[in-house]
Structure 1
Amino acid sequence: MKLMADSTCDLSQDVITAYEIDIIPLTVTIEGTDYKDRLDITTDQYFEKLQAGSEAASTGAPSPSLYVEFFEKAIRDGYSEILCICMSSGTSASYQSGELGRTQFFEENPESEVKIHVVDSKSMSHGSGWLVMKSSELEKEGHSFEDIVTFVESHKTKVKHFLSVDDLSHLIRSGRISGASALIGKLLNIKPIMSMKQGKGAVVAKERGRNRVLKHYVDEFSKRNDSTNTTFLLIGYTTDRQVALDLQTKIQAETTFSGDIYIMQMGVAVATHVGPGGLSMFFMEK
Structure 2
Amino acid sequence: MSITIITDSASDLPVNYYKENNVTLLPLRVHLNDKEYLDQETISSKDVYAEIRKGAMPKTSQASPAALMELFEQMAQKNEPCLYIAFSSQLSGTYQTAMMVREEILEKYPDFEFEIIDSKCASLGQGLAVHHAVEFLKTNPSFTDFVAKVKEYCIHMEHIFTVDDLDFLAQGGRVSKASAFVGGLLNIKPLLHVEDGKLIPLEKLRGRKKVLRRMVDLMKERGEDLAHQTIAISHGDDEATAFALRDMIKEEFGCESFLISMIGSAVGSHSGPGTIALFFLNKKL
Aligned length: 281
What is the CA–CA distance in structure 2 between the aligned matches of 1:75 and 1:201, rounded to whole Å? 34
2:37 maps to 35
Segment drifting more, 17-26 vs 176-185? 176-185
One-letter amino acid of the counterpart of residue 71, structure 2 = F
Q: How does 1:213-232 map to 2 (within 5 A)?
A: 213-227=211-225, 231-232=229-230
Pick closer, same or farther for the CA change 1:185–1:37 going to 2, 3 Å: same
Q: Kindly provide the CA deviation profile for residues 43-66 of structure 1, in whole angstroms up to 9, marking residues without a partner as x.
A: 111122233343x11111112332
Q: What amino acid sits opposite 2:282 in the alignment?
A: E
Match of residue 203, structure 2, among 188, 199, 205: 205
- The answer to whether residue 267 in structure 2 is matched with residue 266 in structure 1 is no
Q: Which residue of 1 aligns with 2:53?
A: 51
Which residue of 2 is the match for residue 282 of structure 1? 279
Residues 179 and 102 from structure 1, CA distance in 2 versus in 1: closer, same or farther, beyond 3 angstroms?
closer
Deviations 1:129-180 (A, max 9, x none): 1111111111112322211211222342210001101133312312344556
- 1:106 alignment counterpart: 106
- 1:160 corresponds to 2:158: yes
RMSD: 2.0
1:42, distance to aligned residue in structure 2 (A): 0.8
**CA offset at residue 194 of structure 1?**
1.1
Q: TM-score, normalised by structure 1?
A: 0.91
Corresponding residue to 1:120 among 118, 121, 143: 118
Contact 1:84 1:118 in 2 (8 A): yes
Corresponding position: 1:83 with 2:83: yes
> 2:174 & 2:74 partners in 1: Cα distance?
37
In the alignment, residue 6 of structure 1 is paired with which amino acid? D
* Whole-angstrom CA distance in 2 between matches of 1:72 and 1:230: 39
Relative to structure 1, the CA distance from residue 47 to residue 253 in structure 2 (aligned partners, 3 Å threshold; closer, same or farther) is same
Q: What does 1:133-148 correspond to in 2, within 5 Å? A: 133-148=131-146
Letter in 1 for 2:21: Y
Cα distance per residue 1:2-35 (max 9 Å; x no partner): 1111110111112212211111111111232111
Would you say 1:132 and 2:130 are equivalent positions? Answer: yes
CA contact (8 A) 2:165 2:183 kept: no
Q: Deviation at 1:223?
A: 2.4
Task: Mark the runs of 5 or more structure 2 residues left unpaired by the alignment.
Answer: none
> Once the two structures are superposed, what CA deviation does each residue of 1:189-209 show, in whole Å capped at 9, x if it has no partner?
111111112221010122211
The one-letter code sitting in structure 2 at the alignment partner of 1:34 is E
Distance in 2 of aligned mates of 1:263 and 1:34: 27
Q: Deviations over 1:92-136 (max 9, x none)?
A: 0010121112111112234xx221110101111111111111111
Please report the TM-score for the alignment, with normalisation by the length of structure 2. Answer: 0.91
SS of 1:171's equivalent in the other structure is helix
Q: Deviations over 1:218-277 (max 9, x none)?
A: 11222222328963111000111110011111111121333x101101111100110110
How far, CA to CA, are the matches of 1:65 and 1:267 in structure 2?
23
* Contact 2:76/2:105 (<8 A) preserved: no
Measure the CA separation in 2 of the matches of 1:47 and 1:18: 26
8 Å contact 2:156–2:282 — kept in the other structure?
A: yes
Runs of 4+ aligned structure 1 residues displaced above 6 Å come to: none
User: 87-96 vs 149-158, which deviates more?
Assistant: 149-158
Shift in CA distance, 162/230, structure 1 to aligned 2, threshold 3 Å: farther
CA distance in 1, matches of 2:176, 2:10: 24
Instruction: Decide whether the 8 Å contact of 1:230 with 1:284 is kept in 2.
Output: no
